[in-house]
Amino acid sequence: MPALIPQKQPAMALEVPDDAIQLPGSHDLPFADLLDALDDDLRSELTRRPAGPEYDLFARMVARMQVPSPVGGNICAELFLLPILFSHNEIELDSPDVCFEAAALLRQTLASWFGDSGRNIVFEGIYWLEWLMAWQPDILRRHLGRAVGQSARAAVQFQASSIALPAAAPRLSFVILARTRFRDWPRSAIPEAGEDARLRSIASQALHFSRSARGGGKDRAPVVLSPAPWRLALIAGLRNWLDAVHSRTGIVGWTLEPQAHPRDQVVLRLWLDDADVSQTRFSLRLYQIGMTGLREVLLCLAGYAPCVDQRSD
């Protein structure tokens, strides 16, 4: 029997039903335990813990690391992301060196954009949303370790399923950068509008040129958003991506599906107004976006279409 697809219509109010984000086993957890888990068997610790409000704290801290400096004080590192919306035919171009030519220009432009004494390390390659959502916390910590000289470059192994989307819909990807500062945490910039537009334009054209040299970039240049700390950039990227999918294809319904393992994983299923791809699904990890981030994403979807499980007369 074909799946029931609700009629496409705007939502009456930007509200998410409470039972749409209830996850199994949710209860209060000590903050101290969660913070101690950051560097102590993260994978198994996270697998055991139910979803709850403490994931907001975890999502802020998991992408940060502080290590002693040889000259005294501490070196503080944090992972940032540069969200990018690529056209459909770019999904095959995922080699690690795909933005090699763009990296030097990005580092130079980012230094001006942040406007502080921090050091910016641009990691090689383009990282698709489904890749990041397949990562366990220890992979993020290894990237941080590289930034502060505690771990060497090594191959990352994980399993990820691609997201099926109509040809008109863009794909969400990211450039990863690590920011380090001496004795202080890296800061998020509040640049002038002109400086922000300059960074986004340079990054877009540099990535477009780099991909064109490898047979991609056949369509328009990608849309690049402003860099931000890991959690905030993921949320901003998701909101912009879903908005683009809705405007080009039409999201007519959605559901949220909690997963038993790992317990911080949820699956969003979208019903699309497209003859070829009528449904798609993708995973989100609460340890990366937090419960607040999940609610923001669901509020975004509620602005496009009703939750399929919430029937309307």
Average pLDDT, the chain: 77
Lowest mean pLDDT of 3-17, 167-181, 244-258, name the range. 3-17
pTM for the full model? 0.81
- Please check the confidence at residue 59 and state whether its pLDDT lies above 90: no
Distance CA 45, CA 21 (A): 22
Distance CA 102, CA 66 (A): 29
Spell out the domain ranges in the chain.
41-229
Q: Which residue type does 128 have?
A: W
Range with the poorest average pLDDT among 152-161, 174-183, 226-235, 248-257: 152-161
Task: Report the run of H or E that residue 174 belongs to, with start and end.
Answer: strand 171-182
% of the chain at pLDDT higher than 70: 69
Position 309, amino acid: D
DSSP E strands in 15-111: the ranges are: 64-68, 74-86
Highest mean pLDDT among 49-63, 84-98, 116-130, 288-302: 288-302
pLDDT for the residue numbered 206: 82
| Listed range (1-5, 214-218, 264-268) with the worst mean pLDDT | 1-5
Residue 30: which pLDDT band, with cuts at 50, 70 and 90? very low
Hey, how many other C-beta atoms are within 10 angstroms of the C-beta on 14? 11
| pLDDT for position 292 | 92
- List the one residue out of 304, 256, 303, 248 whose CA is nearest residue 283: 256
Helix (H, G, I), strand (E, B) or coil at 291: helix
pLDDT tens across 77-101, in order?
999 999 999 886 655 445 445 566 6
H or E stretch including 279?
strand 279-285
Residue 255 dihedral angles phi and psi, to the nearest 5° = -140, 155
- Reading the block at residue 245, the tokens are 């999918």
- pLDDT-derived band at 110 (thresholds 50, 70, 90) equals confident
Query: Is 144 a residue whose pLDDT tops 60?
Result: yes
Q: Is the pLDDT of residue 151 over 80?
A: no
Confidence of residue 192 (pLDDT cuts 50, 70, 90): confident
- Token pair of 48 as six digits: 């055991």
Which of 117-121, 125-129, 146-150, 251-255 has the highest average model confidence (pLDDT)? 251-255
Residue 73 has what pLDDT? 81
Q: How far apart are CA 10 and CA 289, in angstroms?
A: 26
- Give the C-alpha separation, 5 to 253, whole Å: 7
Burial (CB count <10 Å: 0-12, 13-18, 19+), residue 68: exposed
**What is the rounded distance in angstroms from the CA atom of residue 72 to the CA atom of residue 92?**
46
Could you give the 3-state DSSP secondary structure of residue 68?
strand
CA 61, CA 77: separation in Å to the nearest integer?
Answer: 11
Please tell me the predicted confidence (pLDDT) of residue 121: 86
**How far is residue 64's CA from residue 275's CA, in Å, rounded to a whole number?**
44
Residue count (the chain): 313
Question: Do residues 97 and 208 lie in contact, with contact meaning Cβ atoms separated by under 8 Å?
Answer: no
Q: For residue 311, which amino acid is it?
A: R
The closest of 261, 41, 230 to 143, measured between CA atoms, is 230
pLDDT confidence tier of residue 71, bands split at 50, 70 and 90: confident
| β-strands 228-229, 127-128 pairing | unpaired
Question: Using one digit for the tens of pLDDT, what is the confidence trace for 221-249?
Answer: 889 999 999 999 999 999 999 999 999 99
State how far the alpha carbon of 82 is from the alpha carbons of 79, 143, 169, 225, in Å.
10, 15, 19, 6
Residue type, 47: T
The neighbouring-strand residues paired with 177 are 80, 122
Is the separation of the CB atoms in 233 and 81 below 8 Å? yes
